[in-house]
A and B are shown apart, each in its own frame.
Chain A
Amino acid sequence: MKSIHWSTAFLYTVLIVYAVITFLPFAWALSASFKPLSEIAEGGIHFIPQHFTLANYRQIFTQEPLFGRWFLNSAIAAIFITLFNLLFNSMAGYALARIRFPGNQFWFFLILAALMVPGQITLLPKFLILKSFGWLNTYQGLIVPGAINATFIFMMRQFFINFPRELEEAAALDGLGRFETFFQIVLPLAKPALAAQTIFVFMGAWNEFLMPLVVMSDPEMFTLPLGLNAFKGEYISYWNYIMAASMIFTLPALAIYAFFNRYFIQGITFTGGKSG
């Protein structure tokens, strides 16, 4: 009996220590975002600001005119990328799972092969292609190449393969065509899979650094990660501003995570479990 108590206490200690390790950097950053520079410079470990101020946040929005623009650029890119992915990946996944068209197996094989190709390999050619389209420094240059995702096409295919056929057969008897069946019957019932996709794709697009870095060179077209990096270069040791900017950037992703986290875990275990 005693040994069980000991081991449980040990497990909780491990978990709590790790939770502290996880939270500490965030807490320290959040705290810095509410401190004046003088307090940051003088040192000392105070997680609760001694001279609490909102001036850092005010400074960002009033003195950094592009900050709002970067936020908007990130939002536009992330929202459109998410919408296109939801639509296109589901359509492709459905076709691969349900429609017996010539080349079905071939395309499925290509999608699987694409899963193995790391994004960095195609980065430079993508840049050349976007350049020849005249799409550098445009929203479409960021959105269109990111509008599909092999991982989620695969995930949607697996989802639709296990989808009950009876519903579609009933819809067909009612005279609905493939498209109506897909949009009116199948998609609304695919909500859990779509939710998992939403959160992954949105987070990925919102946090992406390398692709915007390559596509966007005009500061007006920066997304927030690029903006933050530029901001860092400009305000080198003004950690109070840099941390405030970081916190603003983190909030939307955190809100989505808090809202959808159940689907997030499901999605990871799905993609992870299937591949393993």
Chain B
Amino acid sequence: MKSKLEKIWRTQAGREAVKGYSFMAPTILIAGIFLFLPIIYAVTLAFYKVELLGEVSYQFVGFKNFVRMVNDDRVWKALKNTAEYVAIVVPIQTLLALCLALVLNAQIRGRSWFRVAFFLPTVTSSAVLTLIFMWIYNSNGLLNRILSFLGLPTYNWLGDPAVALKGIMIMNIWATAPLFMVIYLAALQDIPASLYEAATLDGANRWEKFFYITLPFLQPVTFFVVVMGVIGTFQLFDQSYIFSAGSGGPNDSTLTIVLLIYQYAFKNLDMGYALALTLMLAAILMISTLIQRKLFREERFD
């Protein structure tokens, strides 16, 4: 009697296992080959010299690829550019997103219309946005005409190493802020109205409500927005690539880490070194996420 029950239970469980794995099969197969295997590959091959021309061959070189980074000026240049880019873009786009969300969250008519309109850059391809901005930035382009009309100094946005990266920063802040605005807006709408009512009864003014209710409530979502912003900006590639026709110019001023990785992998065919750089990028992203977690002392509202 007992063995019979056990058998039924077994076949039942067995059937569930077969069904579970047949539902999971495409995911396991594809993730295995194109996600998990590549991670293992990346970690291993960073210690090899990879010959890509003709027959692909590998030669173990230990930490050589990592040591080489330290003396590679272009690595430092790319790190500096990327760090500068992250440090300027993330705070501005986060603040802009928060301000727009606060404005939209006020009792405003046509709110959904504004939201749809603001969102336009987010759904447009980075290639198109970059080309549009290059058109606006070119030396007798719209931006310079507006600047000279206002009596402000004009720049050679595409060709001057001092401002080229700033041009990409402006474009990306403009393009990304609306995405985070939508996330902030959703979080704002989750704050219970009763809290504000209670605060009003206690005689709190508008600023007190903002600092003691709104901001603390937005802390987890701000953590999310900043982490996503940092990860996104650290991986800047498309815009730099199109902007500089793949070179990172003028004078390496738009060279980013991912663009440098791309150049080493596909222009210099130095795959092992490029993978070592990839690991460095991964390490930077992980460490920066951990630091931010510490800074925000994340309190989860699960």
Contacts and interface: CB of A to CB of B under 8 A. Distances in A.
Given A120-B258, A121-B42, A28 B136 contact: yes
B267 to A, nearest CB: 12
A88 B30 contact: yes
B23 A209 contact: no
B157 interface: no
B45 A125 contact: yes
Interface in B280-298: 281-282, 285
Given A99-B16, A179-B19, A224-B125, 18 more contacts: A8-B108, A11-B106, A22-B117, A22-B174, A25-B132, A101-B19, A102-B17, A122-B34, A125-B38, A203-B123, A213-B241, A214-B262, A225-B126, A225-B128, A250-B125, A257-B123, A268-B179, A269-B185
A175 interface: no
B187 A276 contact: yes
8 contacts: A11-B103, A14-B100, A99-B23, A100-B16, A144-B30, A210-B258, A232-B242, A268-B183
A173 interface: no
Interface size class on chain A is 35 or more
Contacts of A100: 13, 16, 20
Given A209-B238, A246-B132, A125 B42 contact: yes
Contacts of B174: 21-22, 25
B278 to A, nearest CB: 6
Nearest to A267: B182
B127 interface: yes
Nearest to B302: A274
B116 interface: yes
Contacts of A103: 20
Given A95-B24, A122-B35, A128 B41 contact: yes
A29 B242 CA distance: 17
Interface string A139-170: 00000110110100100000000000000000
Contacts of B115: 265
Contacts of B279: 121
Contacts of B30: 88, 144-145, 147-148
Contacts of B42: 121-122, 124-125
Looking at B31, B33, B275, the one whose CB has the most chain A CB atoms below 10 A away is B31
B37 A124 contact: no
Q: Which 4 A-B pairs have the closest CB atoms?
A: A101-B20, A125-B38, A276-B224, A207-B125
Contacts of A276: 183, 187, 220-221, 223-225
Interface in B248-267: 258, 261-262, 265-266
B293 to A, nearest CB: 12
A189 interface: no
Interface stretch (B61-69, B84-92, B138-146, B193-201): B138-146
B150 interface: no
A129 interface: yes
A148 B245 contact: no
Given A124-B275, A203-B123, A91 B118 contact: no
A11 B107 CA distance: 10
A95 B17 CA distance: 10
A237 B128 CA distance: 15
Contact of B27 (A22, A91, A119, A224): A91
B23 A125 contact: no
